Amino acid sequence: MPPLARSTLDRAAHRRTDQRWLAEAWLRARVLMVDVAGGGRALVEDSGTRTELILLGPDAARESAPEDRLFLGVEPDGVPVFAVDAPLPQIAGTRAANLRETGHLLADRDAGLLTTALALANWHARHLYSSQTGLATVVGDGGWSRRDEAGNPLWPRTDPAMIVLVHDGVSGPDGRCLLGNNAAWRSTRGVRRYSCLAGYVEPGESAEDAVVREVTEEVGLVPGHIRYVASQAWPFPGSLMLGFSALGDPARALRLDPAEIAHADWFSRRDITAVLDGEVVQVGDGLRLALPPASSIALFLIRRWVDGIR
Protein backbone atom coordinates (compact mmCIF):
# COMPACT_ATOMS: atom_id res chain seq x y z
CA MET A 1 0.00 0.00 0.00
CA PRO A 2 1.36 3.50 -0.81
CA PRO A 3 2.60 5.34 2.30
CA LEU A 4 -0.03 8.09 2.23
CA ALA A 5 -2.95 5.76 1.44
CA ARG A 6 -3.34 4.64 5.05
CA SER A 7 -5.95 5.73 7.59
CA THR A 8 -7.95 4.45 10.57
CA LEU A 9 -10.30 7.43 10.87
CA ASP A 10 -14.07 7.35 10.44
CA ARG A 11 -14.78 10.59 8.57
CA ALA A 12 -18.34 10.66 9.99
CA ALA A 13 -19.60 12.83 7.13
CA HIS A 14 -23.13 12.85 8.56
CA ARG A 15 -21.87 15.06 11.42
CA ARG A 16 -20.54 17.86 9.21
CA THR A 17 -23.81 19.80 9.05
CA ASP A 18 -24.77 19.28 12.71
CA GLN A 19 -23.61 22.54 14.30
CA ARG A 20 -24.74 21.56 17.78
CA TRP A 21 -22.84 18.28 17.65
CA LEU A 22 -19.73 19.97 16.24
CA ALA A 23 -19.73 22.56 19.04
CA GLU A 24 -20.00 19.83 21.68
CA ALA A 25 -17.42 17.66 19.91
CA TRP A 26 -14.88 20.47 19.93
CA LEU A 27 -14.90 20.55 23.74
CA ARG A 28 -13.62 16.96 23.92
CA ALA A 29 -11.64 16.83 20.70
CA ARG A 30 -8.11 16.06 19.74
CA VAL A 31 -6.72 18.90 17.63
CA LEU A 32 -4.10 18.63 14.90
CA MET A 33 -2.45 21.95 14.17
CA VAL A 34 -1.00 22.39 10.67
CA ASP A 35 0.81 25.49 9.48
CA VAL A 36 0.11 25.89 5.77
CA ALA A 37 1.96 29.22 5.54
CA GLY A 38 4.91 27.60 7.28
CA GLY A 39 5.30 24.86 4.70
CA GLY A 40 2.46 22.57 5.75
CA ARG A 41 4.22 21.47 8.92
CA ALA A 42 2.83 19.77 12.01
CA LEU A 43 4.34 18.81 15.35
CA VAL A 44 5.83 15.33 15.70
CA GLU A 45 7.73 13.48 18.36
CA ASP A 46 10.52 11.02 17.67
CA SER A 47 10.48 7.99 19.93
CA GLY A 48 13.11 5.41 19.09
CA THR A 49 12.44 4.23 15.56
CA ARG A 50 8.92 5.72 15.53
CA THR A 51 7.69 9.19 14.64
CA GLU A 52 4.34 10.17 16.17
CA LEU A 53 2.01 13.02 15.35
CA ILE A 54 1.24 15.39 18.24
CA LEU A 55 -2.44 16.11 18.80
CA LEU A 56 -3.45 18.72 21.37
CA GLY A 57 -6.53 19.54 23.40
CA PRO A 58 -8.98 22.22 22.25
CA ASP A 59 -7.47 24.74 24.69
CA ALA A 60 -4.29 24.78 22.59
CA ALA A 61 -6.31 26.28 19.72
CA ARG A 62 -8.65 28.39 21.82
CA GLU A 63 -8.05 31.48 19.66
CA SER A 64 -9.40 29.76 16.57
CA ALA A 65 -12.88 30.77 15.44
CA PRO A 66 -15.47 27.95 15.27
CA GLU A 67 -15.71 28.28 11.49
CA ASP A 68 -11.97 27.72 11.13
CA ARG A 69 -12.07 24.34 12.86
CA LEU A 70 -11.88 21.57 10.28
CA PHE A 71 -13.67 18.42 11.40
CA LEU A 72 -11.65 15.41 10.23
CA GLY A 73 -13.69 12.61 11.77
CA VAL A 74 -14.00 10.32 14.78
CA GLU A 75 -11.32 7.98 16.06
CA PRO A 76 -12.02 4.33 16.92
CA ASP A 77 -12.23 5.28 20.61
CA GLY A 78 -15.03 7.75 19.84
CA VAL A 79 -13.00 10.94 20.23
CA PRO A 80 -13.54 13.53 17.46
CA VAL A 81 -10.55 15.04 15.67
CA PHE A 82 -10.29 18.55 14.26
CA ALA A 83 -7.55 20.35 12.37
CA VAL A 84 -6.66 24.03 12.65
CA ASP A 85 -4.42 25.94 10.27
CA ALA A 86 -2.28 28.12 12.56
CA PRO A 87 1.34 28.75 13.60
CA LEU A 88 2.64 25.82 15.61
CA PRO A 89 3.20 26.19 19.36
CA GLN A 90 6.55 25.56 20.98
CA ILE A 91 6.44 22.26 22.89
CA ALA A 92 9.51 20.67 24.43
CA GLY A 93 10.50 17.36 22.91
CA THR A 94 8.70 17.97 19.63
CA ARG A 95 9.74 19.23 16.22
CA ALA A 96 7.96 20.68 13.21
CA ALA A 97 7.95 18.40 10.18
CA ASN A 98 6.19 18.24 6.85
CA LEU A 99 4.39 15.32 5.25
CA ARG A 100 6.99 14.72 2.55
CA GLU A 101 9.72 13.95 5.07
CA THR A 102 7.69 12.12 7.71
CA GLY A 103 4.64 10.56 6.00
CA HIS A 104 6.28 7.15 5.56
CA LEU A 105 7.47 7.15 9.19
CA LEU A 106 4.01 7.64 10.67
CA ALA A 107 1.63 4.89 11.73
CA ASP A 108 -1.54 4.37 9.69
CA ARG A 109 -3.63 6.57 11.97
CA ASP A 110 -1.19 9.48 11.91
CA ALA A 111 -0.49 9.25 8.18
CA GLY A 112 -4.22 9.44 7.43
CA LEU A 113 -4.80 12.36 9.78
CA LEU A 114 -1.96 14.51 8.49
CA THR A 115 -2.67 13.78 4.83
CA THR A 116 -6.34 14.69 5.20
CA ALA A 117 -5.68 17.76 7.33
CA LEU A 118 -3.08 19.16 4.95
CA ALA A 119 -5.19 18.52 1.85
CA LEU A 120 -8.22 20.23 3.41
CA ALA A 121 -6.24 23.16 4.86
CA ASN A 122 -4.50 23.75 1.53
CA TRP A 123 -7.85 23.82 -0.26
CA HIS A 124 -9.23 26.42 2.16
CA ALA A 125 -6.12 28.57 1.85
CA ARG A 126 -6.58 28.69 -1.96
CA HIS A 127 -10.32 29.40 -2.00
CA LEU A 128 -10.82 32.52 0.06
CA TYR A 129 -12.78 33.96 -2.85
CA SER A 130 -15.32 32.39 -5.19
CA SER A 131 -14.10 31.68 -8.71
CA GLN A 132 -17.69 32.21 -9.90
CA THR A 133 -18.50 35.55 -8.32
CA GLY A 134 -15.25 36.92 -6.90
CA LEU A 135 -16.95 37.33 -3.53
CA ALA A 136 -15.24 36.41 -0.27
CA THR A 137 -16.05 32.94 1.06
CA VAL A 138 -16.51 31.50 4.55
CA VAL A 139 -16.14 27.97 5.89
CA GLY A 140 -19.17 25.69 6.21
CA ASP A 141 -20.08 22.07 6.89
CA GLY A 142 -17.43 21.55 9.53
CA GLY A 143 -14.71 22.57 7.10
CA TRP A 144 -15.94 20.59 4.09
CA SER A 145 -17.33 23.49 2.08
CA ARG A 146 -17.13 27.24 1.58
CA ARG A 147 -19.86 29.70 0.59
CA ASP A 148 -19.69 33.20 -0.78
CA GLU A 149 -21.83 36.11 0.41
CA ALA A 150 -24.53 35.20 -2.11
CA GLY A 151 -24.75 31.64 -0.78
CA ASN A 152 -23.00 29.92 -3.68
CA PRO A 153 -21.24 26.78 -2.41
CA LEU A 154 -17.72 25.54 -3.14
CA TRP A 155 -16.65 21.98 -2.40
CA PRO A 156 -13.12 20.62 -1.92
CA ARG A 157 -11.55 19.46 -5.15
CA THR A 158 -8.73 17.05 -5.85
CA ASP A 159 -6.70 17.23 -9.06
CA PRO A 160 -6.14 13.78 -10.62
CA ALA A 161 -2.62 13.10 -11.84
CA MET A 162 -1.11 9.97 -13.30
CA ILE A 163 2.32 8.59 -12.44
CA VAL A 164 3.82 5.60 -14.19
CA LEU A 165 6.76 3.25 -13.81
CA VAL A 166 7.72 2.27 -17.37
CA HIS A 167 9.82 -0.90 -17.51
CA ASP A 168 11.03 -3.42 -20.08
CA GLY A 169 9.22 -6.46 -18.68
CA VAL A 170 12.49 -8.33 -18.05
CA SER A 171 12.78 -10.17 -14.74
CA GLY A 172 15.94 -10.42 -12.66
CA PRO A 173 18.76 -7.93 -12.05
CA ASP A 174 19.11 -6.99 -15.73
CA GLY A 175 15.53 -5.75 -16.04
CA ARG A 176 15.35 -2.01 -16.61
CA CYS A 177 12.99 0.82 -15.77
CA LEU A 178 12.73 4.30 -17.25
CA LEU A 179 13.16 7.26 -14.92
CA GLY A 180 13.36 10.98 -15.58
CA ASN A 181 14.89 14.05 -14.01
CA ASN A 182 12.42 16.94 -14.12
CA ALA A 183 13.69 20.16 -15.66
CA ALA A 184 12.60 22.05 -12.54
CA TRP A 185 14.76 19.93 -10.21
CA ARG A 186 18.21 21.19 -9.37
CA SER A 187 21.12 18.83 -8.84
CA THR A 188 22.40 19.59 -5.35
CA ARG A 189 24.91 18.05 -2.96
CA GLY A 190 26.33 15.89 -5.71
CA VAL A 191 23.10 14.08 -6.56
CA ARG A 192 20.65 14.08 -9.45
CA ARG A 193 17.17 12.88 -8.57
CA TYR A 194 15.25 10.64 -10.95
CA SER A 195 11.64 9.59 -10.61
CA CYS A 196 8.70 8.06 -12.46
CA LEU A 197 7.10 10.07 -15.24
CA ALA A 198 3.98 11.94 -14.16
CA GLY A 199 1.50 14.57 -15.21
CA TYR A 200 -2.01 15.88 -14.67
CA VAL A 201 -5.02 14.25 -16.28
CA GLU A 202 -6.48 16.79 -18.71
CA PRO A 203 -10.19 17.60 -19.10
CA GLY A 204 -12.05 14.97 -21.12
CA GLU A 205 -9.19 12.48 -20.76
CA SER A 206 -9.01 9.10 -19.05
CA ALA A 207 -6.15 8.32 -16.71
CA GLU A 208 -4.86 5.65 -19.09
CA ASP A 209 -4.88 8.10 -22.00
CA ALA A 210 -2.97 10.56 -19.82
CA VAL A 211 -0.28 7.92 -19.25
CA VAL A 212 0.22 7.47 -23.00
CA ARG A 213 0.13 11.19 -23.72
CA GLU A 214 2.50 12.26 -20.94
CA VAL A 215 5.11 9.57 -21.60
CA THR A 216 4.99 10.24 -25.33
CA GLU A 217 5.25 14.02 -24.84
CA GLU A 218 8.00 13.90 -22.24
CA VAL A 219 10.36 11.24 -23.61
CA GLY A 220 9.04 10.32 -27.09
CA LEU A 221 8.20 6.76 -26.11
CA VAL A 222 4.75 5.19 -26.57
CA PRO A 223 4.06 2.88 -23.60
CA GLY A 224 1.93 -0.25 -23.77
CA HIS A 225 0.30 -2.81 -21.46
CA ILE A 226 -0.76 -0.08 -19.03
CA ARG A 227 -1.90 -1.39 -15.68
CA TYR A 228 -3.37 0.49 -12.75
CA VAL A 229 -1.51 -0.22 -9.48
CA ALA A 230 -2.67 2.04 -6.62
CA SER A 231 -3.34 5.65 -5.66
CA GLN A 232 -2.56 8.06 -2.87
CA ALA A 233 -3.24 11.67 -2.02
CA TRP A 234 -0.39 14.11 -2.61
CA PRO A 235 -1.60 17.31 -0.93
CA PHE A 236 1.04 19.65 -2.39
CA PRO A 237 -1.31 21.35 -2.71
CA GLY A 238 -4.15 19.01 -3.74
CA SER A 239 -3.44 16.10 -6.06
CA LEU A 240 -4.52 12.48 -6.20
CA MET A 241 -1.73 10.42 -7.70
CA LEU A 242 -2.98 7.49 -9.80
CA GLY A 243 -0.15 4.98 -10.04
CA PHE A 244 0.40 2.78 -13.09
CA SER A 245 2.96 0.43 -14.58
CA ALA A 246 3.58 0.13 -18.31
CA LEU A 247 5.91 -1.53 -20.76
CA GLY A 248 8.40 0.30 -22.96
CA ASP A 249 11.18 -0.65 -25.36
CA PRO A 250 14.70 0.44 -24.27
CA ALA A 251 15.92 -0.02 -27.86
CA ARG A 252 13.90 3.00 -28.98
CA ALA A 253 15.69 6.34 -28.77
CA LEU A 254 14.34 8.81 -26.25
CA ARG A 255 13.30 12.29 -27.41
CA LEU A 256 13.07 14.55 -24.38
CA ASP A 257 10.87 17.60 -24.05
CA PRO A 258 13.45 20.01 -22.52
CA ALA A 259 10.71 22.09 -20.93
CA GLU A 260 9.67 19.07 -18.87
CA ILE A 261 12.54 16.58 -18.65
CA ALA A 262 16.22 17.47 -18.32
CA HIS A 263 17.50 13.90 -18.25
CA ALA A 264 16.00 10.44 -18.70
CA ASP A 265 17.54 7.02 -18.77
CA TRP A 266 16.94 3.32 -18.31
CA PHE A 267 18.23 1.93 -15.01
CA SER A 268 18.74 -1.75 -14.22
CA ARG A 269 17.10 -3.45 -11.29
CA ARG A 270 20.64 -4.07 -10.05
CA ASP A 271 21.41 -0.32 -9.96
CA ILE A 272 18.11 0.63 -8.33
CA THR A 273 18.57 -2.05 -5.68
CA ALA A 274 22.04 -0.72 -4.97
CA VAL A 275 20.72 2.81 -4.40
CA LEU A 276 17.98 1.49 -2.12
CA ASP A 277 20.69 -0.30 -0.15
CA GLY A 278 22.60 2.96 0.31
CA GLU A 279 25.27 2.37 -2.33
CA VAL A 280 26.49 4.99 -4.81
CA VAL A 281 25.46 4.74 -8.47
CA GLN A 282 26.89 7.35 -10.82
CA VAL A 283 24.72 9.06 -13.43
CA GLY A 284 27.38 11.21 -15.12
CA ASP A 285 28.71 14.74 -14.55
CA GLY A 286 30.19 13.48 -11.28
CA LEU A 287 26.70 13.06 -9.82
CA ARG A 288 25.15 10.09 -8.09
CA LEU A 289 21.64 8.73 -8.57
CA ALA A 290 18.98 9.76 -6.05
CA LEU A 291 15.45 8.34 -5.93
CA PRO A 292 12.13 9.95 -4.96
CA PRO A 293 11.24 10.65 -1.31
CA ALA A 294 10.03 7.71 0.75
CA SER A 295 6.55 9.20 1.23
CA SER A 296 5.91 9.36 -2.52
CA ILE A 297 3.98 6.84 -4.57
CA ALA A 298 6.86 7.04 -7.05
CA LEU A 299 9.17 5.18 -4.69
CA PHE A 300 6.35 2.74 -3.90
CA LEU A 301 6.08 1.92 -7.62
CA ILE A 302 9.86 1.58 -7.93
CA ARG A 303 10.16 -0.72 -4.90
CA ARG A 304 7.28 -2.82 -6.21
CA TRP A 305 9.10 -3.27 -9.52
CA VAL A 306 12.38 -4.09 -7.76
CA ASP A 307 10.54 -6.83 -5.87
CA GLY A 308 9.42 -8.30 -9.19
CA ILE A 309 5.73 -7.38 -8.87
CA ARG A 310 4.20 -6.42 -12.25
Distance CA 194, CA 43 (A): 30
- Helix, coil or strand: residue 274: helix
pTM of the model: 0.94
Considering only CA atoms, which of 302, 104, 62, 74 is closest in space to residue 194?
Answer: 302
pLDDT tens string, the chain, 310 residues long: the values are: 999 999 999 999 999 999 999 999 999 999 999 999 999 999 999 987 789 999 999 987 776 667 789 999 999 999 999 999 999 999 999 999 999 999 999 999 999 999 999 999 999 999 999 999 999 999 999 999 999 999 999 999 999 999 999 999 999 999 999 999 999 998 888 999 999 999 999 999 999 999 999 999 999 999 999 999 999 999 999 999 999 999 999 999 999 999 999 999 999 999 999 999 999 999 988 899 999 999 999 999 999 999 988 6
Separation between Cα atoms, residue 202 and residue 47, nearest integer Å: 43
Q: Which of 309, 259, 293 is nearest to 3 (CA)?
A: 293
Residues 27 and 13: their CA atoms lie apart, in Å, by 19
Residue 263: phi and psi, rounded to 5, are: -145, 150
